[in-house]
């Protein structure tokens, strides 16, 4: 994929939609620019798991953590 972006007088660019989708980034996300021997790489900054925003959905009565889940399973199984 090859896409172009224009740098504004403030040093800002608009990342093309196809590139944002390929990187999995949205408004407010951060990008890291890394220089290597062949050029510059751009990658998203992931400070936490991409799935962490879904944690807790649909399991309101199940506690978090291994101990809590094991205790809940024992209760469900009648142990």
Q: What 8-state DSSP symbol labels residue 63?
A: P
Give the pLDDT confidence score for residue 21 in this predicted structure: 93
pLDDT at 11: 94
Q: Are 53 and 61 in contact (CB under 8 A)?
A: no
Q: Which two tokens stand for residue 15?
A: 């990342």
Tokens 């800002």 correspond to 12
CA nearest to 31, candidates 19, 53, 39: 19
For 1-47, CATH gives 2.10.260.10
Domain boundary assignment for the chain:
1-47, 51-79
What pLDDT was estimated at residue 61? 75
Query: So what's the pLDDT on residue 19?
Result: 92
* Listed residue (24, 23, 43) closest to 35, CA to CA: 43
* Digitized pLDDT (tens) for each residue of the chain, 79 residues in all: 889 999 999 999 999 999 999 999 998 889 999 999 899 999 999 877 777 777 767 766 777 788 888 888 888 898 8
């Amino acid at each position: 994929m090859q896409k172009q972006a224009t740098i504004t007088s403030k040093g800002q660019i608009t990342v093309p939609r196809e590139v944002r989708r390929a990187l999995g980034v949205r408004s407010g996300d951060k990008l890291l620019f890394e220089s290597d021997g062949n050029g510059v790489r751009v990658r998203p900054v992931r400070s936490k798991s991409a799935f962490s925003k879904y944690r807790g959905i649909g399991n309101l009565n199940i506690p978090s953590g291994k101990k809590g889940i094991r205790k809940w399973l024992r209760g469900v199984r009648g142990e």
